[in-house]
């Protein structure tokens, strides 16, 4: 129970430090590429674990984000505009691109 509370607190602090839900940041990341119905590739900053970020966003936004795959430097996901806006302001994210291929 203590671990769940601690993880929730860490998640909340991480999101609030990067803009969090419904906050605007001064320079959100652009979304690169051509808009696609396949979702997004979210590249993480150096020394940042994409599994941790993906898990935090899933726990915070629930059904608003669906993560397909994670790798050492990115995760692939479908998400609502609300989640995309938060990710664009998250300082642990290095880049966001439209997913252009069906298989990763």
Q: Is residue 73 part of a domain?
A: yes
**pLDDT tier, 11 (very low <50, low <70, confident <90, very high otherwise):** very low
Q: Does pLDDT of 87 surpass 80? A: yes
Q: Is residue 104 part of a domain?
A: no
Q: Does pLDDT of 7 surpass 70? A: no
Quote the mean pLDDT of the chain: 83
Q: Rounded distance, CA 78 to CA 63, Å?
A: 10
Q: How many domains does the chain have?
A: 1
Please answer whether residues 31 and 83 qualify as being in contact, where contact means their C-beta atoms are separated by less than 8 angstroms: no
Q: Is residue 18 part of a domain?
A: yes
Does this model's pTM top 0.85? no
Residue 26's domain comprises 2-98
- Any idea what the CATH number is for the domain that residue 46 is in? 3.30.70
Q: Is residue 103 part of a domain?
A: no
Q: Rounded distance, CA 6 to CA 71, Å?
A: 25
Tell me which residue of 104, 103, 36, 34 sits closest to 73, measured CA to CA.
Answer: 104
The terminus-to-terminus CA distance of the chain in angstroms comes to 36
Q: Rounded distance, CA 68 to CA 61, Å?
A: 15
Q: Does pLDDT of 16 surpass 50? A: no
Q: Is residue 22 part of a domain?
A: yes
Q: Is residue 23 part of a domain?
A: yes
Q: Rounded distance, CA 83 to CA 57, Å?
A: 8
């Amino acid at each position: 129970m203590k671990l769940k509370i601690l993880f929730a607190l860490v998640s909340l602090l991480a999101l609030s430090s990067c803009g969090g839900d419904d906050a605007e940041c001064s320079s959100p990341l652009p979304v690169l590429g051509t808009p696609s119905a396949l979702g997004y590739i979210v590249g993480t900053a150096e020394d940042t674990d994409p599994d941790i970020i993906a898990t935090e966003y899933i726990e915070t936004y629930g059904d608003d984000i669906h993560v397909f795959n994670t790798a050492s430097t990115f995760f692939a996901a479908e998400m609502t505009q609300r989640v995309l806006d938060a990710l664009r302001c998250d300082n642990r994210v290095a880049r966001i691109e439209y997913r252009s291929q069906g298989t990763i």
